[in-house]
Amino acid sequence: MIRLFIFAIIVLGLGWSFSWLADRPGLLSITWQGQLIETSLMVAATLLVAIVAAMMFIGWLVRIILSSPHLVQRHFRARKRDRGYQALSTGLIAAGAGNSTLARKMSLRSRSLIRADQEPLILLLEAQTALIEGKHDEARSIFESMSHDPETREIGLRGLYMEARRLGADEAARQYAERAAENAPYLPWAAQATLEYRCQAGRWDDAIRLLDQQRAAGVIERDKADRMKAVLLTAKANERLEGDPRGARDDATAALKLAKDLVPAGVIAAKAYARENNPRKAASVLESLWKIEPHPEVAEAYVRARSGDSTGDRLKRAEKLEGLRPNNVESLIAVARAALDARDFAKARAKAEAAARMDSREGVYLLLADIEEAETGDQGRVRHWLGQALRAPRDPSWVADGFVSDQWLPVSPTTGRLDAFEWKAPFGQLEGPIEEGRLAETAISNLPAVAQPVSAPVVKAEERTVVAETVATPKPAEAAKPAPLAVVKTDNTEPVKPTSTKADEAKADAKAEADPFNGRPPDDPGVKDQTASAEAPTRLRLF
C-alpha cells in the first residue's frame, strides 16, 4: 500500500513537471566540440528522463546477469530443503505411528538433505526413532546433546527426565526436572515434578516459591494454586508445631485464608493457639471450621481443647458442637463419646443409636458395643454390636491412591502427588453370598461353646420325612437338653404343625417388643433374663 502511494506521487510529480515546462517554452543551446546543438526545453527534459530510465534498465540487467549463478544455486537449494522438510514431516508422522522402518529411512534422508544444525527437528526424529527401535542409549545421547543447545534444551531435558523415570533413577530425574524448572518455570511437567520432589524432601519453602512462580507465569489456575499453597503451608505448620508454635500458627492461619475447609490446617492452628494458652481463639477457629466441614478430628480437638476439663465439661462442649450442626452424624458421635466418658449411658446410647439410624457404619456399632459393655457388661449384646460392625461399611479415613492413613499427609506416599488425601471410606464392604458366609462362619467360630447352635438329627429316608432344626440359642442351664424338633410329612397329607402353643408365641412376641434391639433381634442375645421361659420360639427350615 505504501509503495503504491509512493508510485502515484512520483507519477503525479512527473506529470506536473512536464505540464509546467509545456506552459513555459524555451530553447536550450549546447556547444560541444565546435558543434552547436539547439533544442526545446521539453525535448531536453524528455531526453533526460529517457536516459535515466535506460541507465536503470541497463543496471538491472547487469545485476541479473551477475547474480544468475547465485539465483540458480538458491533455487536448487530451496528444492533440496523442501524435499528435506517433506522427508522430515513424513518421518515424524511415521515415528508417531510407530513405524520405525519408515521413520529411520526418513531420518537418514532428511539428514542428507538438511543440516542438523539448521533444523533441530532432525535430532528429535532420530531420538524418537531410536526409542521406537529400543535403542535407549542412542536416544539418551541425542537428548544429552540437545540439552546443551539453548534452542532444544527443554525438549532434551524432558527426554532425559522420561528416560530416568523409566530406569527408576529418581535422583537423576529430579536433577533434570530441577534444571528444566530453573530455566523455564512455565513448563508444567518440570514444575509439577520439581514440586513433588521438593515436597517429598520436605523443602516446603522451595516448593512454595516454585508454586508462586508457576502462578505468576499463568501455568496453574488461581483456585488450584491457592489450594496447593494452603496444603504446603499446612505441611510446614505441622513440622513447626513442636518447636515453633507461633510460626505454626501463622502458617496454619494463612492456609485457612486460602482454603477455609482444610481441616488439618484448622486443627494445627487450634493446637498452636492452645499451646500459647489461648483456648478462646482455638475454639473460635474450630467452631468456624465445624460449621463448614464437620470432621471427627475437629470434634476431638474441640472437646479436648483444655486439658484440665472434666468429663462433664467435655460433654457440654460436645453438645455445643451439636448445636452448631444439628442432625449430623459426626455431631451425634461426638456427643455419644463424650457422654460415655461422663458415664451418662442413657444419653450416649440415644445419640449413638440415632447416629446408627442416620449412617450405619463400623464406628457407630463399635461405639454401641463400648456403651453396652460399660453399662451392662452383657456379652451377648456386645457380640451383637460387634457382629453388626463386622458387616457394616468402614468408617471414613484419609485415603490417597489406595493408601489408607490414620492421619492427614500432604503428599501421597505411593505416587508423590500433592494434596492427594481425601476423607472418605477406604473401600466398600465385601458383597456376595460367599463373603457373607465366610464372615458368618468366622463370627460363629469365635463364639463360646455354649452359644453354638445345636444341630438336629435327620430322620431316615424310609419315613419320607425331613426334620427342621431350630435356630434359637439354648440357655446355659438347658444346653444339655436337645432342641425341639418338628417333623413335616412329605406325602399328600397335611404337614404336622410344630409343637408350640399360641400362649408361647404371644409371650415371645411380647418379649421381643419389650426388648427391642435397634429394630431387629440380635445375632446372639446371650443370657440376660434368667427367669424367661424355657421354651424358645422356633423357626422351621425345610430341606
Enumerate the domain spans of the chain.
8-66
**pLDDT tens figures, 259-302:** 999 999 999 999 999 988 888 899 999 999 999 989 999 999 99
Nearest to 245 by CA among 212, 271, 210, 223: 271
pLDDT exceeds cutoff 50 at 490: no
For residue 17, what pLDDT is reported? 80
**pLDDT tens figures, 10-46:** 888 878 887 887 777 777 787 877 788 777 777 877 8
For residue 4, what pLDDT is reported? 86
Question: What is the band of 228 on the pLDDT scale with cuts at 50, 70, 90?
Answer: very high
Report the alpha-carbon distance of residue 134 to residue 157 in Å, rounded: 19
Q: Label residues 31-67 b or e (16+ Cβ within 10 Å = b).
A: eeeeeeeeeeeeebbeeeeeeeeeeeeeeeeeeeeee
Nearest to 412 by CA among 205, 200, 257, 215: 200
Backbone dihedral angles phi then psi of residue 320, each to the nearest 5 degrees: -65, -40
CB 279 within 8 A of CB 298: no
For residue 332, what pLDDT is reported? 94
For residue 473, what pLDDT is reported? 37
**pLDDT tens figures, 414-457:** 888 888 999 998 875 444 333 444 444 444 344 443 333 333 33
Report the alpha-carbon distance of residue 41 to residue 201 in Å, rounded: 93
The predicted model gives 164-175 an average pLDDT of 88
Mean pLDDT over each residue of the chain, to the nearest integer: 78
For residue 24, what pLDDT is reported? 75
Report the alpha-carbon distance of residue 321 to residue 333 in Å, rounded: 11
Per the model's pLDDT, the better-predicted residue between 419 and 458 turns out to be 419
Integer angstrom CA distances of residue 166 from 176, 220, 255, 413, 461: 13, 26, 36, 19, 69
The predicted model gives 321-348 an average pLDDT of 92
Angle at 425 between CA 421 and CA 426, to 5 degrees: 70
pLDDT exceeds cutoff 60 at 483: no
Q: What is the 3-state secondary structure (H, E, C) of 467-510?
A: EECCCCCCCHHHCCCCCCCEEEECCCCCCCCCCCCHHHHHHHHH
For residue 504, what pLDDT is reported? 52
pLDDT exceeds cutoff 60 at 324: yes
DSSP state of 342: T
User: Under 8 Å CB-to-CB from 177, ≥6 apart: which residues?
Assistant: 157, 161, 189, 190, 193, 194, 197
Count Cβ atoms within 10 A of the Cβ of residue 504 and give its class: 0-12 exposed, 13-18 middle, 19 or more buried.
middle
The predicted model gives 293-312 an average pLDDT of 88
Name the amino acid, one letter, at 280: R
Beta bridge partners of residue 242, listed in sequence order: none
Range with the poorest average pLDDT among 70-84, 328-342, 461-475 = 461-475
**pLDDT tens figures, 377-426:** 899 999 999 999 999 999 999 999 888 998 999 999 888 888 899 999 88
Percent of the chain having pLDDT more than 70? 79
The predicted model gives 204-223 an average pLDDT of 86
pLDDT exceeds cutoff 70 at 6: yes
User: Three cell numbers at 445?
Assistant: 467360630
Highest averaged pLDDT of the listed ranges 11-15, 169-173, 362-366, 426-430: 362-366
Nearest to 455 by CA among 441, 465, 468, 469: 469
User: Three cell numbers at 30?
Assistant: 549546447
Per the model's pLDDT, the better-predicted residue between 475 and 52 turns out to be 52
Please give the model's pTM, rounded to 2 decimal places: 0.63
CB atoms within 10 A of CB 479: 13
